[in-house]
Amino acid sequence: MAKYVAEPFRIKMVETIKVLTREERVEKIKEAKYNLFNLKGEDVYIDLLTDSGTNAMSSAQWSALMQGDEAYAGARSYYKLMDAAKDIFGYEYIQPVHQGRAAEKVLFPTFLSQGKYAIANMFFDTTRAHVEIAGARALDCVVEEAGDTSLRVPFKGNMDVDKLESIINKLGPDNVGVVVMTITNNSAGGQPVSLHNMREVSSVCKKYAIPLCIDAARFAENACFIKQREDACKNMTIREIVKALFACADMFTMSAKKDTIVNMGGMIGIKDSNSSLILKVKANCISFEGFVTYGGLNGRDLECMAVGLYEGIDENYLTYRLGQMQYLADCFDEEGIPYQAPVGGHGIFLDAKKFYPQIPYYEFPGQVLNIELYKEAGIRGSDIGSYMLGNDPDTGRQLESINEFTRLAIPRRVYTQSHMDVIVEAVKNVWKRRDSIRHGYHITWEPPILRHFQAHLEPIEKA
């Protein structure tokens, strides 16, 4: 029997959610043109679209919110956030921004331009977009194990260090503007990076004088995986592991909507207060986000982040958080239901290719499973496969993704074990009738970029 790690908190405020009937859901998803982004939130029972900004804040955060100092410049709330972030990460310069992609937009053009390359273990989609907007090219260099969903190794998010070094030599070190380590590796399924790997990447970067940037959205979940899985770190505290990880890099970008457990926020960190980047970051921040002491956020948001940074690295919380994913994974293992294993830190990535081998990538198996789960139980996940990948910009042809995932992202501190059991039951039922699904979907309308957010789909009906 799968074991659930009980919540290290109790519930003080609740929000009612409703369950539609199956008939109503069938109608709603049709009206939404079979795109789950087009559903109204209130027509969803368990919303697993994303873990980004969907977190439940604590009573400590809500009371800090009331302390928000809304001074335009030099607000008290700004200094609280500075103290917390400098304490946890050990960096000398911290710039608040309104979310992760704003950090990318402000920081990347300060060192990336036409002809440059950025190499990552794997780029998140907005991070890749901002590398390209700066005129540079983005290359992924994750370990090969990440592509095999049934291979259970502890650090599937790692950089392939030998390959990294050979790419640097091939491109010429002067042409590589930055190396990025995404922790955890979101696109590979929330898979962690080891401290050992981070250190190896750091020494390659030092050898070739290339700056190393951490994409730090899920830094705390990554640190907890390190404590659980990396022998050399098992006696370190989460805080020590976080310090050790960030000591390897020169800078970070962060979406605070994940492990900082707020609904909106982000940060840039620069380790060295003498860095020539700081003045450029300040200038870009003032143009794009707002003055440097608020960075597009309210004083009250800065307060919530300052508290959330500490709550997010609490070991009891993290043990519960990773335990929630492990519970889902153990329940799926009992039924032989395929997912990216071992389970990652922020959700479970069901292997839709193995649910529906009869459905080709251009009929979007990940989206098929997503729609089946909505019809079955009002659960909303997201396709991380060919439907999300889109078309080749040069030929216009549908690209084929390596994996066809349906991601069930779990918001932080929001759902209970009973909700997890509803998810397990729904996935089991959909798995049992997987052979009855004959065809997938085709797109009847799509915008030119990031089409998955808006496209219209229709079921394929064949004789």
Ligand X SMILES: *Cc1c(COP(=O)(O)O)cnc(C)c1O
Residues paired with 411 in a beta bridge: none
- Asked if 326 contacts 302 with a C-beta cutoff of 8 angstroms, the reply is no
Question: Is 258 noted as a catalytic residue in this protein?
Answer: yes
Question: Is 72 noted as a catalytic residue in this protein?
Answer: yes
As measured in angstroms, the least distance from the Cβ of 408 to ligand X is: 16
Contact between 124 and ligand X (CB under 6 A)?
yes
DSSP assignment of 230-295 equals: -GGGTTS-HHHHHHHHHHT-SEEEEETTSTT--SS-EEEEES-TT-THHHHHHHHHHHHT--TTTT
Q: Which stretch binds ligand X (CB under 6 A): 67-75, 97-105, 155-163, 348-356?
A: 97-105
Contact between 191 and ligand X (CB under 6 A)?
no
Contact between 412 and ligand X (CB under 6 A)?
no
- Asked if 105 contacts 295 with a C-beta cutoff of 8 angstroms, the reply is no
Q: Which stretch binds ligand X (CB under 6 A): 19-27, 121-129, 199-207, 389-397?
A: 121-129
Q: Which stretch binds ligand X (CB under 6 A): 239-247, 252-260, 358-366, 391-399?
A: 252-260
Contact between 110 and ligand X (CB under 6 A)?
no
Q: Considering beta carbons, is residue 53 or 154 the nearer one to ligand X?
A: 53
Q: Which element (helix H / strand E) includes 138?
A: strand 137-140
**Binding mask 26-65 vs ligand X (x if CB under 6 A, - otherwise)?**
--------------------------x-------------
- Asked if 202 contacts 231 with a C-beta cutoff of 8 angstroms, the reply is no
Nearest to 98 by CA among 260, 266, 257: 266
Question: Is 125 noted as a catalytic residue in this protein?
Answer: yes
Catalytic annotation, pick one of 125, 148, 330, 421: 125
**Binding mask 281-320 vs ligand X (x if CB under 6 A, - otherwise)?**
----------------------------------------
Question: Is 124 noted as a catalytic residue in this protein?
Answer: yes
Share in percent of the chain as helix, strand, coil (round to 5): 45, 15, 40
Q: Considering beta carbons, is residue 215 or 363 the nearer one to ligand X?
A: 215
Contact between 101 and ligand X (CB under 6 A)?
yes
Catalytic annotation, pick one of 64, 85, 217, 455: 217
Alpha helix segments (H runs only) across 20-75: 22-31, 59-65
Q: Which of 35, 58, 95, 99 binds ligand X (CB under 6 A)?
A: 99
Contact between 95 and ligand X (CB under 6 A)?
no
Contact between 215 and ligand X (CB under 6 A)?
yes
CA distance linking residue 296 with residue 293, whole number of Å = 9
Q: One-letter amino acid identity for 246?
A: F
CA distance linking residue 75 with residue 68, whole number of Å = 9
Q: Considering beta carbons, is residue 29 or 141 the nearer one to ligand X?
A: 141
Nearest to 318 by CA among 387, 413, 414: 413
User: Chain-centre distance of CA 288, in angstroms?
Assistant: 23
Contact between 182 and ligand X (CB under 6 A)?
yes
- Asked if 410 contacts 347 with a C-beta cutoff of 8 angstroms, the reply is yes
If binding means CB under 6 A, how many residues of this protein chain bind ligand X? 15
Write out the catalytic residue numbers.
72, 124-125, 215, 217, 258, 452
Instruction: List interacting residues with ligand X (CB under 6 A).
Output: 52, 99-101, 124, 126-127, 182, 186, 215, 217, 255, 257-258, 266
